[in-house]
């Protein structure tokens, strides 16, 4: 518990504009690289497995890997490697933002650990990428159990992501309500 308190205090120190501003362009740069890699792969836009929030199975994963071909699989593997950089930047940015909002909302100290949600999402995303890399690198071999586990991890990743969005909106509403109350009804 002491470790969490120390991490929380460090997060509190870094949750400001000085750290948000450099992270945003870096995040968008990584997204641009990933988008360019995605454009190179025919048929990949709507079918990319790690973006299917409803999940997938070995059959649909094999169908995807067959459809994009050997060059597409190679580009998909590159995309997964670049995704590790996105995961880290997104985790830092959202953790800092949740910490900032928690501090601004002035909520109970036990809720300050909400900044851990992006870490959980990132661990899920990393696990998902490792499993997808393994499946791609051993293609055409099939790993139905691994594909099923990967699918569950993908779905859970999106559940945590939407939880983060709800938490951030909730904190913004608390901040807005407190500001209205403080200013006597004026925003």
- pLDDT > 70: percent of the chain: 93
Structural domain boundaries enclosing 96: 2-182
User: Is pLDDT of 127 > 60?
Assistant: yes
187 inside domain? no
If one counts the domains in the chain, the total is 1
What pLDDT is stored for residue 162 in this prediction?
95
CB-based contact 31:86 (threshold 8 Å): yes
72 inside domain? yes
Residue 47: φ, ψ to 5°: -110, 5
Longest dimension (CA), the chain: 66
Dihedral sign, CA of 117, 127, 20, 186? negative
Please spell the DSSP secondary structure of 16-72, one letter per residue: SHHHHHHHHHHHHHHHHHHHHHHHHSTT-TTT-GGG-TT---HHHHHHHHHHHHHHH
Q: Of 39, 30, 49, whose CA–CA distance to 87 is shortest?
A: 30
pLDDT per residue over 143-177, tens digit each?
A: 999 999 999 999 999 999 999 999 999 999 999 99
What pLDDT is stored for residue 148 in this prediction?
93
Q: What is the mean pLDDT of residues 81-97?
A: 92
Angle at 65 (CA atoms; ends 52, 56), nearest 5 degrees: 30
The length of the chain, given as a count of residues: 187
């Amino acid at each position: 518990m002491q470790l969490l308190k120390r991490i929380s205090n460090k997060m509190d120190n870094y949750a400001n504009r000085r750290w948000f501003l450099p992270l945003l362009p870096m995040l968008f740069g990584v997204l641009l690289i990933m988008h360019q890699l995605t454009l190179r792969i025919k048929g990949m836009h709507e079918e990319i497995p790690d973006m299917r929030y409803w999940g997938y199975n070995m059959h649909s994963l094999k169908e995807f890997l067959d459809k994009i071909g050997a060059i597409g699989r190679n580009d998909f593997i590159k995309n997964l490697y670049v995704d590790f950089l996105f995961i880290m930047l997104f985790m830092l940015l959202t953790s800092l933002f949740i910490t900032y909002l928690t501090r601004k909302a002035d909520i109970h100290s036990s809720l300050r650990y909400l900044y851990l949600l992006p870490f959980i999402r990132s661990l899920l995303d990393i696990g998902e990428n490792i499993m997808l890399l393994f499946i791609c690198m051993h293609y055409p071999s099939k790993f139905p159990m691994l594909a099923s586990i990967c699918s569950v991890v993908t779905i859970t990743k999106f559940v945590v992501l939407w939880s983060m969005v709800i938490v951030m909106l909730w904190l913004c509403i608390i901040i807005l309500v407190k500001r209205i109350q403080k200013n006597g009804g004026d925003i």
